[in-house]
């Protein structure tokens, strides 16, 4: 699929640009919004993303990164944001009420906190962009139905399949 390959290449370039950036810039945010965001341009036209624009203009990078996640990926929340050994670790989750051992998080590390948040945002965008063709829950195909008698009346018997007892089947 050409679009998926293009998205991967674009995501790799954005991720590389963020990893090598010492600090966020308005140009970096513009690249992320223009390349990886589908909701923000629509929200900007309707006036709902003006706060994000003001945060970027004022240089409030952490608040701008948080607002970007809130507007673009409303189903994702912060799992953790900690500084360990001079690097910020940001984890985002779609199910933050699950225990950490069972939760599928996206994690990112950077020396600058807003850039760690932006890297985690890009990782979450990748997860969202992956088609959900692979199901975690296996699908079960019903076996050939066995007929059983569902009615105790001797005058008239209805025959039902074993997997849907209440649905009448053809009489024998």
Average pLDDT value for the chain: 79
Q: What pTM, to 2 d.p., does this model score?
A: 0.70
Contact 39, 72 (CB under 8 A): yes
Q: Order the strands of the 77-84 sheet from edge to edge.
A: 77-84, 87-93, 105-110
For position 97, what pLDDT does the model report? 81
Helix (H) or strand (E) holding 145: none
Q: What is the pLDDT of residues 8-51, one digit of tens each?
A: 788 889 999 999 999 999 999 999 988 888 888 888 888 888 88
- Read off the pLDDT of residues 97-129 as tens digits, 9 standing for 90 and up: 888 777 788 999 999 999 999 999 999 998 887
Would you state the pLDDT for residue 2?
Answer: 42
d(CA 25, CA 21): 9
Q: Determine whether 94 is exposed, middle or buried from the number of CB atoms within 10 Å of its CB (0-12, 13-18, 19+).
A: middle
Which secondary structure element, helix H or strand E, spans residue 40, and what is its range? helix 40-45
């Amino acid at each position: 699929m050409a679009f998926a390959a293009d998205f991967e290449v674009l995501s790799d370039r954005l991720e590389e640009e963020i990893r090598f950036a010492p600090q966020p810039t308005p140009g970096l945010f513009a690249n992320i919004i223009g390349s990886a965001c589908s909701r923000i341009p629509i929200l900007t036209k309707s006036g709902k993303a003006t706060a994000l624009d003001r945060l970027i203009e004022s240089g409030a990078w952490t608040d701008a990164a948080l607002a970007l996640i809130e507007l673009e990926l409303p189903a994702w929340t912060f799992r953790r944001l900690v500084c360990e050994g001079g690097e910020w670790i940001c984890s985002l989750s779609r199910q933050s009420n699950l225990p950490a051992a069972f939760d599928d998080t996206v994690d990112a590390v950077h020396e600058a906190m807003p850039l760690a948040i932006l890297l985690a945002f890009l990782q979450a965008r990748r997860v969202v962009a992956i088609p959900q063709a692979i199901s975690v829950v296996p699908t079960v195909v019903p076996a050939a139905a066995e007929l059983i008698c569902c009615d105790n009346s001797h005058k008239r018997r209805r025959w039902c399949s074993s997997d849907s007892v209440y649905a009448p089947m053809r009489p024998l």
